[in-house]
């Protein structure tokens, strides 16, 4: 069971005019709210100051997932308008890298927009190529959720090629404007390289290549991992009891080399800087996977199911140190000759959760009544997160949500 929480405490009034519709022209010139839990202090900066604000004994972890151009304009056989939002591959491969390379028949989970569309219907993509018409067959449909099949055999292109040429970037629902060509650049981090997200890991949008070089020059190493962001990240908590909330599932990918470097960070007592809530969920999920392995030495992990469930951190158990936990995962890698972990997590971080790995969080401002607000409140405490948000709301220059400004949150700084 998750802790009892009064969700009314984690609401705030966000005027629509404070939601950023476009990004800053220069990524790192956005505002930065810094909040330190230990000192209770709140201060205001520019994101470009990050290299000077982080402790020197820090290691940074980033999510290199890349947003796919998942929105396809289509039409029905009756010429009515429709849209296909490609969410998750099913066959022949459920793994994004493989699924995007397919040049034949593919099946994907999709969200369908348009009226009176049912299973068995065929939608036609509006492809700007002469005499070229892409067909998408609706295999199953419940509400707007559908299973869709399409065949690229005769088009000399992969799924990735198709999406790149004919898809649009799926901006969040609260950015109420048409997608522009520039969004394909600005709604990606400069280090994105692993296709698979349908929403950007937005905390990373503020980094420039120049800033990354400054961080490296200051001695702060940058480590890569992947969490493919799904639409569930925008799902509000629509129940008074968080135990009734269906926490969204997301795919995480972490290499053995990153895992081994994390062990070194822990041995050297370094601060773990997590860029984004997605990176945070990945790191903390790896900790709980290690706990499971220590508690069950003969455990054989089914990576097609969830390696971490929502209630995993809230069970009564003996405390496991972060270093012992990560070493347990690394030993499992060695035993099974695993070089890259690909798994699913439903980790639900709420107030009452104690962070085991992450103690510095770089993130954006999040929607009221979201799971991400609860994650932030777990790091800063119930009162301080709201004080920080209120300080930003009191300053009319702060911009909110995906294309908005950033936050730097400290908790239990080491050294």
pLDDT in tens, the chain (415 residues): 889 899 899 999 999 999 999 999 999 999 999 999 999 999 999 999 999 999 999 999 999 999 999 999 999 988 889 999 999 999 999 888 899 999 999 999 999 999 999 999 999 986 665 467 899 999 999 998 999 999 999 888 999 999 988 899 999 999 999 999 899 999 999 999 999 999 999 999 999 999 999 999 999 999 999 999 987 777 778 888 888 988 888 889 999 999 999 999 999 999 999 999 999 999 999 999 999 999 999 999 888 888 999 999 999 999 999 999 999 999 999 999 999 988 999 999 999 999 999 999 999 999 998 999 999 999 999 999 999 999 999 999 999 999 999 999 999 998 7
DSSP string over 138-161: EEEEETTEEEEEEE-GGGT--HHH
As beta bridge partners, residue 61 has: 223, 274
Label the pairing between strands 271-275 and 58-63. Answer: parallel
| Tokens encoding 296 | 């069950």
Would you say the C-alpha torsion 114, 120, 125, 130 has a positive or negative sign? Answer: negative
Tokens at 327, concatenated: 């070493």
State both tokens at 102: 């397919």
**Are 236 and 367 in contact, with CB atoms under 8 Å apart?**
yes
Sheet strands side by side (includes 250-255) = 41-46, 31-36, 406-410, 360-364, 271-275, 58-63, 221-228, 250-255, 340-345, 306-308
pTM over 0.85? The answer is yes
For the chain, the domains span 7-67+187-410, 71-168
> Cα-flanking dihedrals φ and ψ of residue 112, to 5°?
-105, 130
Task: Choose the CATH number for 7-67+187-410 among 3.40.1780.10, 3.60.110.10, 3.40.630.30, 3.30.70.360.
Answer: 3.40.1780.10
d(Cα 411, Cα 224) in Å, to the nearest integer?
22
CB 249 within 8 A of CB 306: yes
Residues 6+ apart with CB under 8 A from 270: 57, 58, 59, 414, 415
In whole angstroms, give the CA distance from residue 249 to residue 344: 6
């Amino acid at each position: 069971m998750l802790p009892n929480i009064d969700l009314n405490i984690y609401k705030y009034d966000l005027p629509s005019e404070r939601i950023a519709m476009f990004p800053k022209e220069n990524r790192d010139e956005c505002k930065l709210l810094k909040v330190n839990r230990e000192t209770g202090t709140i201060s205001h900066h520019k994101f470009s100051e990050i290299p000077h604000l982080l402790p020197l004994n820090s290691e940074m972890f980033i999510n290199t997932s890349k947003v796919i151009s998942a929105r396809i304009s289509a039409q029905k056989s009756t010429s009515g308008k429709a849209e296909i939002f490609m969410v998750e591959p099913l066959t022949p491969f459920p793994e994004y890298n493989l699924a995007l390379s397919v040049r034949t028949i593919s099946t994907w989970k999709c969200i369908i927009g348009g009226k009176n569309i049912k299973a068995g219907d065929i939608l036609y993509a509006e492809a700007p190529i002469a005499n070229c018409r892409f067909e998408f067959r609706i295999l199953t449909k419940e509400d707007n959720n559908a299973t869709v099949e399409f065949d690229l055999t005769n088009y000399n292109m992969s799924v990735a090629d198709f999406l790149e040429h004919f898809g649009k970037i799926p901006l969040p629902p609260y950015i109420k404007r048409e997608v522009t060509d520039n969004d394909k650049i600005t709604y990606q981090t400069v280090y994105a390289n692993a296709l698979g997200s349908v929403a950007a890991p937005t905390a990373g949008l503020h980094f420039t290549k120049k800033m990354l070089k400054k961080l490296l020059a200051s001695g702060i190493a940058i480590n890569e991992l992947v969490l493919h962001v799904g639409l569930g990240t925008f799902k509000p908590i629509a129940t008074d009891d968080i135990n009734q909330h269906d926490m969204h599932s997301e795919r995480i990918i972490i290499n053995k080399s990153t895992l081994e470097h994390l062990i070194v960070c822990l041995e050297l007592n370094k601060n773990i800087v997590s860029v984004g809530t997605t990176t945070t969920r990945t790191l903390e999920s790896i900790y709980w996977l290690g706990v499971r392995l220590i508690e069950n030495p003969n455990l054989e992990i089914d990576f097609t199911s969830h390696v971490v469930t929502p209630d995993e951190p809230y069970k009564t158990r003996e405390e496991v140190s972060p270093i012992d936990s990560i070493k347990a995962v690394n030993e499992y890698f060695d035993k099974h000759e695993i070089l890259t972990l690909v798994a699913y997590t439903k980790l639900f971080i709420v107030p009452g959760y104690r962070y085991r790995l992450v103690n510095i969080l770089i993130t954006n401002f999040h929607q009221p009544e979201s799971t991400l607000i609860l994650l932030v409140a777990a790091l800063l405490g119930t009162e301080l997160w709201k004080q920080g948000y209120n300080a930003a709301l009191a300053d009319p220059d702060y911009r909110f949500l995906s294309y908005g400004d950033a936050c730097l949150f400290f908790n239990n700084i080491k050294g």
